[in-house]
Amino acid sequence: MRIPFVAANWKMFKTVQEAFLYAKEFAPVVKDITDVEIVLAPPFTALHTVAEALRNTNVGVAGQNMHFEREGAFTGETSAGMLVEAGAGYVIIGHSERRTLFGETDATVAKKIAAALSADLVPIACIGETLAERERGDTLAVLDRQIHDGLAPAVDPADVSKLVVAYEPVWAIGTGRTATAEQAQEAHAHIRRRLRDQYGEEAAATCRVIYGGSVKPANTRELVTQPDVDGALVGGASLDLNAFAEIVARSRRDTV
């Protein structure tokens, strides 16, 4: 059975001190939840501090982005090795905000995923359609393209189980709108079918596919009880410690 995966993407919020205090208070709240893989993704400035605060706990740490080169003249960028040195075990790649605001493409996503895997970072690879694409009925075609161009070139069958795929409908990111449970399941099931086509039944069955898009405590349970939804990538709601802890608790397989 796939272990649920829940990650908090803090985006450009929280100072180092605020991040440290959150991490120190959060870890004891979720210390007994061992059947959910829990990850915090703070801003890069707070990454090392949060990683140290969470040392020897059941909560992991992720970078929010990375460059695909090991080093070089890339002002403002951060390599996979730098993330690992700072204490990260995971990295978010291809978030819709990176794609829409900073021009990331499926090609750069593929390079980043390959670099992350080479550095033993777990990639949290984001895919999803815009509102215009959904309204045109192109959702599944967009997912097919993003998997074919962004995931397939970077991931070997042996690495699929290390990958986390985050389906994030762009029209639901930070808007308060959420895909219905049925819409989420349709997209997740399609993603898993494409993984099965690409890598085989066993690989597709082990890969976690999580949902991102205005996840809150109130809608968590309805989403994560869908057969192909394995957790959540949480944005705004994760900034509140109690709300995020509740989302984690409601993502457990045996929660009623």
- Which residues carry out catalysis? 95, 168
Spell out where 25-135 has E strands: 37-41, 59-63, 90-93, 122-127
At residue 57, φ and ψ (nearest 5 deg) are -115, 180
Secondary structure element (H or E) that encloses residue 30, with its range: helix 16-30
Calpha distance 176→199 (Å, rounded)? 35
- Contact by Cβ (8 Å): 237, 243: yes
In this structure, how many other beta carbons lie within 10 angstroms of the beta carbon of residue 13?
A: 15
134 to each of 5, 68, 141, 206, 225, how far by Cα in Å?
26, 30, 10, 28, 23
Angle (CA) 86-206-94 rounded to 5° is 45
SS3 102: helix
What's the angle, vertex CA 250, arms to CA 208 and CA 95, rounded to 5? 45
How far apart (Å, rounded) are the C-alpha atoms in residues 2 and 100?
31
Which of these, 140, 210, 219, lies nearest to 178 by C-alpha position?
219
